[in-house]
Structure 1
């Protein structure tokens, strides 16, 4: 297993532009955004699983990137779970409303 020194870590930040949001609102609906979000979470989880397999086999090139991929998948899954919980709470609140 090769462990490189701690240099610059290439973590990509996903900053959302207002222009991107405006374009998204006109071109995609909520279901499209939700489908894309779920696909991205699934992709993060798949990458983390592959990184774990490489870590277990000792074929890791860069430990920092491996751990970053695993943490990204963990955060994505937590966010998706919280989103689901909030959506269920909103649905239940709407069902309690009297007409």
Structure 2
């Protein structure tokens, strides 16, 4: 049985940042990245709340959009909580280390 050679689509790899590309970018601290992502979570929460209020007021808002935005905001918040838990766990592990 002959298997055809797999030829990957090169467009898939265009969005991947390779090591050289990462070295050319500015150094971004972990704190800056964390703040940025928490702001994104906050924006999703606000957007979901605004959409829900619009739906309650009777404006022309599709219930599916309300549910999707609410679930996306909920999942983002749950992920943020899990990241926070891992950060706290790592901090506690570091403080337990003996030097």
- What is the TM-score when the length of structure 1 is the normalising length? 0.72
Q: Which runs of 5+ in 2 are unaligned?
A: 1-14
Matched with 1:95 is 95
Matched with 2:62 is 62
Structural RMSD (CA):
2.3
Equivalent residues in 2 for 1:10-29, closer than 5 Å: 17-19=15-17, 22-23=21-22, 26-27=25-26, 28-29=28-29
Match status 1:53 vs 2:53: yes
The alignment of Structure 1 onto Structure 2 pairs a total of residues equal to: 83
**Equivalent residues of 1:60, 1:66 under 8 A apart:** no
Distance 2:79 2:24 in 1: 21
Q: Secondary structure at the match of 1:19?
A: coil
**Equivalent residues of 2:51, 2:61 under 8 A apart:** no
Distance 1:35 1:48 in 2: 20
Shift of 1:90: 0.4
Q: Which runs of 5+ in 1 are unaligned?
A: 1-16
Matched with 1:3 is none
Distance 2:33 2:24 in 1: 10
Distance 1:29 1:70 in 2: 30
